[in-house]
Amino acid sequence: MIESLDPRVNRAAIELDNHIEPLSPLDQWETYEVFHQKKRGDQHMHVGIVHAANPEMALVFAKEQFGRRGLSANIWVVNTKHVFASTYEDADIFETTSEKIYREAGGYKVMDKINQYKKSQKA
Protein backbone atom coordinates (compact mmCIF):
# COMPACT_ATOMS: atom_id res chain seq x y z
CA MET A 1 0.00 0.00 0.00
CA ILE A 2 1.42 3.36 -0.97
CA GLU A 3 1.24 5.85 1.88
CA SER A 4 2.67 8.88 0.15
CA LEU A 5 0.62 12.06 0.26
CA ASP A 6 1.99 13.15 -3.10
CA PRO A 7 -1.07 13.19 -5.38
CA ARG A 8 1.04 12.08 -8.32
CA VAL A 9 2.02 8.91 -6.51
CA ASN A 10 -1.52 8.20 -5.33
CA ARG A 11 -2.88 8.79 -8.80
CA ALA A 12 -0.32 6.38 -10.19
CA ALA A 13 -1.73 3.67 -7.92
CA ILE A 14 -5.28 4.31 -9.03
CA GLU A 15 -4.31 4.22 -12.66
CA LEU A 16 -2.97 0.71 -12.25
CA ASP A 17 -6.58 -0.49 -12.07
CA ASN A 18 -7.52 1.32 -15.26
CA HIS A 19 -7.63 -0.82 -18.31
CA ILE A 20 -7.59 1.24 -21.45
CA GLU A 21 -10.64 0.88 -23.66
CA PRO A 22 -10.05 1.26 -27.37
CA LEU A 23 -11.29 4.64 -28.58
CA SER A 24 -14.64 4.62 -30.30
CA PRO A 25 -14.81 6.42 -33.66
CA LEU A 26 -16.64 9.33 -32.02
CA ASP A 27 -13.86 9.83 -29.45
CA GLN A 28 -11.13 10.05 -32.02
CA TRP A 29 -11.59 11.17 -35.58
CA GLU A 30 -9.67 9.77 -38.48
CA THR A 31 -6.58 11.54 -39.73
CA TYR A 32 -6.12 13.13 -43.12
CA GLU A 33 -2.78 13.81 -44.78
CA VAL A 34 -2.52 17.37 -46.03
CA PHE A 35 -0.79 18.33 -49.27
CA HIS A 36 -0.24 22.02 -49.89
CA GLN A 37 0.44 23.77 -53.18
CA LYS A 38 2.02 27.22 -53.05
CA LYS A 39 1.42 28.31 -56.60
CA ARG A 40 -0.71 26.86 -59.36
CA GLY A 41 1.47 24.47 -61.36
CA ASP A 42 3.75 23.67 -58.41
CA GLN A 43 3.79 20.19 -56.91
CA HIS A 44 1.64 19.59 -53.86
CA MET A 45 3.90 19.02 -50.85
CA HIS A 46 3.00 16.94 -47.82
CA VAL A 47 2.86 19.35 -44.88
CA GLY A 48 1.18 17.45 -42.05
CA ILE A 49 -1.94 15.85 -40.69
CA VAL A 50 -5.34 16.98 -39.40
CA HIS A 51 -8.04 15.13 -37.48
CA ALA A 52 -11.47 15.39 -39.07
CA ALA A 53 -14.85 13.71 -39.25
CA ASN A 54 -15.02 13.75 -43.05
CA PRO A 55 -12.98 14.95 -46.04
CA GLU A 56 -14.80 18.27 -46.24
CA MET A 57 -14.03 19.04 -42.62
CA ALA A 58 -10.43 17.98 -43.17
CA LEU A 59 -10.21 20.59 -45.92
CA VAL A 60 -11.72 23.22 -43.62
CA PHE A 61 -9.11 22.47 -40.96
CA ALA A 62 -6.20 22.06 -43.39
CA LYS A 63 -6.83 25.55 -44.74
CA GLU A 64 -6.40 27.11 -41.31
CA GLN A 65 -3.56 24.87 -40.10
CA PHE A 66 -1.43 24.99 -43.24
CA GLY A 67 -2.77 27.66 -45.59
CA ARG A 68 -3.11 30.54 -43.19
CA ARG A 69 0.26 32.14 -43.79
CA GLY A 70 2.30 32.73 -46.93
CA LEU A 71 1.28 31.73 -50.42
CA SER A 72 -1.38 29.11 -51.05
CA ALA A 73 -3.04 28.05 -54.27
CA ASN A 74 -4.57 24.68 -53.47
CA ILE A 75 -4.84 21.97 -50.83
CA TRP A 76 -5.40 18.23 -51.05
CA VAL A 77 -6.50 16.06 -48.15
CA VAL A 78 -6.19 12.29 -48.26
CA ASN A 79 -7.54 9.93 -45.64
CA THR A 80 -4.47 8.38 -44.01
CA LYS A 81 -5.89 4.88 -44.41
CA HIS A 82 -5.86 5.37 -48.18
CA VAL A 83 -2.11 5.88 -48.25
CA PHE A 84 -0.39 2.67 -49.36
CA ALA A 85 3.10 2.78 -47.99
CA SER A 86 6.31 0.79 -48.04
CA THR A 87 7.49 -0.67 -44.75
CA TYR A 88 10.63 0.33 -42.92
CA GLU A 89 11.65 -3.35 -42.81
CA ASP A 90 11.94 -3.15 -46.57
CA ALA A 91 14.02 0.02 -46.49
CA ASP A 92 16.90 -1.98 -47.98
CA ILE A 93 15.17 -1.82 -51.37
CA PHE A 94 16.44 1.76 -51.57
CA GLU A 95 20.05 0.73 -51.16
CA THR A 96 22.08 0.77 -54.33
CA THR A 97 25.58 -0.26 -55.27
CA SER A 98 27.91 2.62 -55.78
CA GLU A 99 29.46 1.57 -59.07
CA LYS A 100 26.35 2.33 -61.16
CA ILE A 101 27.27 5.92 -61.73
CA TYR A 102 26.06 5.55 -65.35
CA ARG A 103 22.49 5.53 -63.96
CA GLU A 104 22.86 8.97 -62.46
CA ALA A 105 22.87 12.29 -64.22
CA GLY A 106 26.08 13.23 -62.45
CA GLY A 107 27.79 10.30 -64.13
CA TYR A 108 27.86 12.08 -67.47
CA LYS A 109 30.39 14.83 -68.13
CA VAL A 110 28.61 16.70 -70.90
CA MET A 111 28.77 20.38 -69.87
CA ASP A 112 31.77 20.98 -72.14
CA LYS A 113 29.84 19.65 -75.11
CA ILE A 114 26.74 21.66 -74.21
CA ASN A 115 28.70 24.87 -73.83
CA GLN A 116 30.46 24.22 -77.11
CA TYR A 117 27.10 23.71 -78.82
CA LYS A 118 25.65 26.87 -77.28
CA LYS A 119 28.67 28.83 -78.50
CA SER A 120 28.29 27.45 -81.99
CA GLN A 121 24.62 28.40 -82.03
CA LYS A 122 25.43 31.96 -81.00
CA ALA A 123 28.12 32.38 -83.60
Binding stretches for another protein (CB under 8 A): 26, 29, 50-54, 56-57, 60-61, 63-65, 68
Residue 25 or 107: which CB sits closer to another protein?
25
Nearest distance in Å: CB 57, another protein = 5
Nearest distance in Å: CB 15, another protein = 24
Amino acid at 37: Q
Residue 51 or 118: which CB sits closer to another protein?
51
Cα–Cα separations (whole angstroms), residue 39 to 7, 63, 70, 110: 53, 15, 11, 33
Residue 10 or 74: which CB sits closer to another protein?
74
What residue ranges in the chain does DSSP mark as E strands? 30-37, 45-52, 74-79
**What is the Cα–Cα distance from 75 to 46, expressed in whole angstroms?**
10
Residue 33 or 50: which CB sits closer to another protein?
50
**What is the Cα–Cα distance from 22 to 25, expressed in whole angstroms?**
9
